[in-house]
Amino acid sequence: MNMKIFKILLAAALFACSLWAVSENEIKQEVTKRTDEAIKVLKDANLDNAAKSKALFAIFDPLFDFKQMAKISLGKRYNSLSASEQKQFDEAFEQKLKSSYIDKLLSYTNQEIIIKDASKPQPNRYWLNSELISEGKPYEFVYKFYDAKERGWLIYDLDIIGVSIIQTYRSQFADLLDNTDFATLIAKLNQTTLPNQGDK
């Protein structure tokens, strides 16, 4: 699979999951509903890219557990960081995840997203199978939710054609930290910026 298709799939997954924290029984319905809302934003010719980015992030941010994703991506090293370093990494990782794929979101050209069936590999895990149709070809991806108790069910990982986004980052970060230090990792994560970053 080429990197362009991989990024398009992840971008589709990010905006398709644009919903507020929900119960297990509401996940599939809300994913479908919020997918439609995100597509409307992308098709709105009155919005520039910065406005579209801001609107999309406002829609999907409440569902993703970016802190949990950051923690998993760093593995055991995360617990060895100080509280301030953890906060620094959480923020840099979230920005990296968003900024890496926002260009693909903004280049949306009527690809079709189909929300399919779900499975529960564990009582506190819910995997929602989905499919993106691009140029007539189907590409499968899976939203991986976990039960975050009072916060509802949140996404902790995405599988794109069998490849875990978080495990991919984990491997990259491990290789980097085996040869450099934490400051270098943060510097690399901070190399990209979001279109609406100046509005914060």
Please give the model's pTM, rounded to 2 decimal places: 0.80
CB atoms inside a 10 Å sphere around CB 1: 11
DSSP 25: G
E strand or H helix that includes residue 164? strand 163-164
Q: What is the predicted pLDDT for the residue at 56?
A: 84
Tens-digit pLDDT string for the chain (200 aa)? 555 555 555 555 555 554 455 789 999 988 888 778 888 888 888 999 889 888 888 877 878 899 999 999 999 999 999 999 999 999 999 998 888 767 677 777 777 888 899 999 999 999 999 988 888 888 898 999 999 998 899 999 989 888 999 999 999 999 999 999 999 999 999 986 655 544 44
Residue with tokens 């995100």: 38
Question: Three-class SS of residue 116?
Answer: strand
The pLDDT assigned to 12 comes to: 56
pLDDT at 198: 43
Per-residue pLDDT, 200: 41
The Cα 16–Cα 34 span in angstroms is: 6
Residues in the chain: 200
Q: What are phi and psi of 112, to 5 degrees?
A: -95, 135
SS3 per residue for 69-85: HHHHHHHHHHHHCCHHH
Residue of 109, 99, 113, 92 whose CA lies nearest to 176: 92
Q: What are 119's two structure tokens?
A: 């499975």
Place of tokens 């950051």: 70
Identify the pLDDT of residue 4.
58
SS3 content of the chain, % helix, strand, coil (to 5): 55, 20, 20
Which pLDDT belongs to residue 19?
Answer: 43
DSSP 54-70: HHHHHHHTTTB-HHHHH
* Residue 2, pLDDT score: 53
Task: Name the residue type at position 91.
Answer: E
Domains of the chain listed by start with CATH number: 3-193 (3.10.450.710)
pLDDT value, residue 8 = 56
Q: Which pLDDT score, from 0 to 100, does residue 18 have?
A: 46
pLDDT at 191: 85
